[in-house]
Amino acid sequence: MQNYSNNLVASSVYRSCEDLGIVLKRIMQEMINDCNYIGATKYHSIGLDTNEHNFADDIFQFEVGLYTIFSQNPTLDIGLALYILKDLAERFYSPAFRSLGLLYLHGEFFQADPQEALEWFKKGIDSGSVECLFELAQMYDQGLGVEVDQDLADEYYQKSAESGDFRGQHFVAQRLVVGQPIKDDARALSWFLKAAESGFSPSQFAVGVFFELGLGTEKDIMEAARWYEKLAQNGVVEAQIRLSLLCLLNPEVPDRQAKAVKWAAVAANSGSSEGQNLLGKIYALGLGVPPDLQKALELFTLAADQGQGLAMLNLIYIFRNGFAGILPDRDLVVKWVMKGLEMGYSPAKYVLGLMYREGTVLEKNVEQADNLLAELGDDEVMEIERLLSYIKMEFISHSPAVGPTYTV
């Protein structure tokens, strides 16, 4: 694909077409036959801007313009795409402004020009583009080719949100959560709800968290479960895990144990290490299912092999202390502690320090223990101790009746 960065080249390419209508139709036919072309690129409109004159030819021309960028056909080039998009912008087809701004901002097909991007976004705003408000906010927020200016970012995010852009609504809410410009959980929730009602999944998840924890509103477990389940059914793994945990911890949720097992299993079967660890805990402790220690170990191991720290701690606890017929195993304790250490997981460093200090699993080495534990801050140690205490409490309080003795 040839790259062009100036209007002269693009114009000459355009003029070289004997009949633009014939060329556009030819490219559209190629698009139809090209199974690799996916219309939902980041240069496409996200559907907020409306084409007031509603010319079918404009939509058609817009798709053709973007196709020329992504096509692998060597006869198509960025020059034609730029000319088509600029022609559309001159006729106030609003999605073209955002596409042009993003093309110049990211520089994927020619040298990036943030100032040119800025101009296209501003022109888009002047022409009524809702989407360009958000893109301009991002530029000032992240310093994309301009000086970071949080005041301007706030202004454009707010305008974007008020204009109905769910992205702007989500970002305004996020900034209110962290105190940008002020902390206001209630207002944050109101913006998250607006974006969530548009179907924006990150906002839907945030709404679930707000109702679960009672942030900016009364705590409402059932409402939290409703939002999580909506996302879980759409395949959002984080929501499947959160819903499973919510069911385990809250007796008021109807059919909570069955739902907890169901969604943990769905997440685990998708390959999520967090889901595998959660399902492993469910089978280890017999939460809504008969205890199955071998299945639990398989799931913990799958998760730990992916680097899931909590799964490593669960395996370390079981093989260090023994659990419900599973015998302690020094080699497996060392294996998982060392794997956690290799990945920089601080609880593994703490456990290794304890083992050197106690001299139970490893030969006692107080100096090595002190060196390891000294690398951890006081606050970090407190958090790790709280985590390990919680894991111990879970295993002790839910320990199934001891069955056969297992060696692994």
pLDDT tens digits, 116-161: 999 999 999 999 999 999 999 999 999 999 999 999 999 999 999 9
Q: How confident is the model at residue 11 (pLDDT cuts 50, 70, 90)?
A: very low
Instruction: Tell me the average pLDDT across 27-34.
Output: 72
Instruction: Tell me the average pLDDT across 164-175.
Output: 97
* HSE-CB of 38 using CA atoms within 13 angstroms: 4
HEC states along the chain? CCCCCCHHHHHHHHHCCCCHHHHHHHHHHHHHHCCCCCCCCCCCCCCCCCCCCCCHHHHHHHHHHHHHHHCCCCCCCHHHHHHHHHHHHHCCCCHHHHHHHHHHHHCCCCCCCHHHHHHHHHHHHHCCCHHHHHHHHHHHHHCCCCCCCHHHHHHHHHHHHHCCCHHHHHHHHHHHHHCCCCCCHHHHHHHHHHHHHCCCHHHHHHHHHHHHHCCCCCCCHHHHHHHHHHHHHCCCHHHHHHHHHHHHHCCCCCCHHHHHHHHHHHHHHCCCHHHHHHHHHHHHHCCCCCCCHHHHHHHHHHHHHCCCHHHHHHHHHHHHHCECCECCCHHHHHHHHHHHHHCCCHHHHHHHHHHHHHCCCCCCCHHHHHHHHHCCCHHHHHHHHHHHHHHHHHHHHCCCCCCCCECC
Give the pLDDT score at 52.
58
Q: pLDDT of 263-299, one tens digit each?
A: 999 999 999 999 999 999 999 999 999 999 999 999 9
Give the pLDDT score at 2.
37
Report how far apart, in Å, the C-alpha atoms of 141 and of each of 79, 147, 162, 259 are. 30, 9, 18, 41
CA–CA distance, 346 with 353 (Å, rounded to integer)? 11
Give the pLDDT score at 9.
40
All structural domains of the chain with their residue ranges = 1-128
Q: How confident is the model at residue 6 (pLDDT cuts 50, 70, 90)?
A: very low
Instruction: Tell me the average pLDDT across 301-326.
Output: 95
Mean pLDDT of the chain: 88
CA–CA distance, 55 with 92 (Å, rounded to integer)? 11
Q: Which of 217, 218, 222, 213 is nearest to 187 (CA)?
A: 217
Backbone angles phi, psi at 344, to 5 degrees: 75, 25
Residue 186 pLDDT > 50, yes or no? Answer: yes
Instruction: Tell me the average pLDDT across 183-204.
Output: 96
HEC states along 75-102? CCCHHHHHHHHHHHHHCCCCHHHHHHHH
Which amino acid type is present at position 2? Q
Instruction: Tell me the average pLDDT across 65-93.
Output: 81
Q: What pTM, to 2 d.p., does this model score?
A: 0.84
